Amino acid sequence: MADVILRLQGITKSFAGNRVLDDVSVEFERGRCYAVVGENGAGKSTLMKIIGGIYRPDAGTILYEGQPVQFHSAAEAMARGISVIHQELSLVGNLSIAHNIFCNREPTRRLGFVDWAAMVREAQKVFDAMGVKLDPRTPVARISIGMQQIVEIGKALSLNSKVLIMDEPTSALSEKEVDHLYEIVANLRRRGVTVIFISHKLTEVFRIAERIIVLRDGVLVGNEAREATDRDQVVRLMVGRPMSDLYPERRRRQGAPLLEVRGLRRQGVFEGVSFELHQGEVLGFAGLVGAGRTEVARAIFGADRPDGGEVLLRGKRLRIRSPRDAIRAGISYLTEDRKSEGLFLPMPVRSNVVAAALDRFVSRWGFYRPARIRKESARLVAALDVRPTDDERSALSLSGGNQQKTLLAKWLCTDPQVLIADEPTRGVDVGAKARIYLELRALADRGVGVLVISSELPEILGLCDRIAVFSEGRIAQVLENERLGQEDVMRFAAK
């Protein structure tokens, strides 16, 4: 009989009369890796928070190591061996790695003073067991996000966790850091730890998970072994339609060149970058991490100063010294980092939507027009299906997918001639992706030039009319997207 460490039976949960989990029954075996997938609002996080003791179910039973349990707090669940690593890491940057791991439970000497040497030794034992090289005395602020993610795992393992839940563990990691995380997960499984992770990235789901659990509208609709399913079936279970329907129909570029970049360079970053973006075209930037794609986009937008080259819009040379100049010229840039560079998270959705286009809402006497702001915000919130529709809520309260749609609404509000979208669907579910793809294609159909930067080759191939492939700070090749495969793009990206 399978060694089941955790079994959920009939789990149901509602908030304010809205049922977010409906009679969910699922079990998890010791030493195996599971992925929980679904659209935003499907109930994934709520289910994980119930397992982790943050929420209590309205109905249903949790059996842990064969015994019924009722966790009243996350601390209680952690004490029993269930840890949750949230997408937003809970580390203190100016404290050492060791101190973060043992925060509020530091080893002490006879008189109650902290035994710093013992704390470092114990932290080192944790990393040795994980096969990780980290100096526990290093301040957390000095290590990468990927290493911080591993410190969070170390903290959980120092509590002798038997079940480890990870929410979007790779959303901010480089490819190398992702590979390292996979090795850590494989090591944890060999030690008998059960790993459950939530992810929107189906590529990583099929790479690492042994079983894939699918939720839709709070209902368990799929629980399949990895080898018994495929990406298209998982997407169909998540959103009720096949993957092929996610991308709107591509069209060949229309009109004359809209944006022309000639010989753009920045020492040590990119060199001799030249390309054309046509009116009504979706042009993709593809390439490996560090190839220079984002850096070129930031230089065009005025966020970084290039050393040479020129940018022309409709044949007129632009002098862009700042993002303000770019926005006034008709160029908008949807950043890859919505939280630190894209949105004012504590502020209302409405304020975020109009933030880059405030000049449009000022009267001739210099006063803002609240009614026009409300009307435009409501229009864009409805057009992009931002949920909830109450645009007076803070952006911080929204899910990742709805934050991303709010960020897109912000730049649509500027009525751009050129929209640069850098990783436009990072950290969002499949349904939100489809909505964003539809809007980007609709912009192109209206004559806007759309430039998409993405690390997901299926996204580039499904959405873009042409693909500029970057390699080591240069454009290696511009490809017409006719019967291209991922290997055709990678051939030039890996030059």
Task: Give residue-wise pLDDT tens across range 377-416.
Answer: 999 999 998 988 899 999 998 877 889 999 999 999 999 9
Domain residue limits at 105:
4-243
Total number of domains constituting the chain: 2
Q: Tokens in use for 492? A: 């030039």
Residue 253 has pLDDT above 70, yes or no: no
Same domain, 277 and 158: no
Distance from C-alpha of 85 to C-alpha of 153, rounded to nearest angstrom: 7
Rounded distance, CA 464 to CA 442, Å?
A: 13
In a domain, 94, yes or no: yes
Q: Are residues 419 and 458 in the same domain?
A: yes
Residue 376's closest CA among 413, 422, 328, 349? 413
Residues 456 and 425 in one domain: yes
The answer to the question of residue 248 being in a domain is: no
In tens, the pLDDT along 15-53 reads: 877 788 999 999 999 999 999 998 777 889 899 999 999
219 and 99 together in one domain = yes
* pLDDT recorded at residue 495: 65
pLDDT score of 1 more than 60: no
Mean pLDDT across 426-434: 80
The pLDDT score that the predictor gives to residue 172 is: 64
Residue 303 lies in a domain: yes
pLDDT per position as a tens digit, 209-234: 999 999 988 999 999 999 999 988 99
Judge whether 249 lies within some domain: no
Share of residues in the chain with pLDDT > 90 (%): 62
12 is a domain residue: yes
Q: Which of 243, 266, 297 is the last residue of a domain?
A: 243
Q: Are residues 331 and 207 in the same domain?
A: no
Lowest mean pLDDT among 143-147, 287-291, 320-324: 143-147
- The letter for the amino acid at 457 is L
Residue 252 falls within a domain, yes or no?
A: no
**199 and 299 housed in the same domain:** no
Preceding amide of 388 cis, omega within 30: yes
* 171 confidence band (pLDDT: 50, 70, 90): low
90 has a pLDDT exceeding 70 = yes
Q: Distance between CA 433 and CA 427 in Å, rounded?
A: 10
In terms of domains, do 175 and 271 share one?
Answer: no
Mean pLDDT score across all residues of the chain = 90
Please check whether residues 420 and 478 belong to one and the same domain: yes
- For residue 257, the tally of other CB atoms under 10 A from its CB is 17
CB burial class (10 A; 0-12, 13-18, 19+) of residue 291?
A: buried
The pLDDT tens digits for 72-88 are 999 999 999 999 988 77
pLDDT band of 4, cuts 50, 70, 90? very high
Shared domain check, 69 and 126: yes
Name the pTM for this structure.
Answer: 0.70
Domain end point (choices 243, 272, 301): 243
CA distance 44 to 48: 6
Task: Locate 227 and state its tokens.
Answer: 């080898």
Q: What is the mean pLDDT of residues 59-78?
A: 94
pLDDT-derived band at 244 (thresholds 50, 70, 90) equals low
Instruction: Give domain status of residue 302, yes or no.
Output: yes
CATH label of the domain that carries residue 99: 3.40.50.300
Kindly tell me the burial class for residue 202, based on how many C-beta atoms sit within 10 Å of its own C-beta (0-12, 13-18, 19 or more): buried
Could you tell me if residue 251 is inside a domain?
A: no
Among 243, 276, 311, the domain-final residue is 243
> Are 348 and 397 in the same domain?
yes
- Arithmetic mean of pLDDT, 150-171: 86
What backbone phi and psi angles, to 5 degrees, belong to 12? Answer: -130, 140
Contact predicate 209/229, CB 8 Å:
no
Q: Are 278 and 362 found together in one domain?
A: yes
Cα–Cα distance measured from residue 162 to residue 32, given in angstroms and rounded to the nearest whole number: 11
Examine the domain organization and report whether 232 and 268 are in the same domain: no
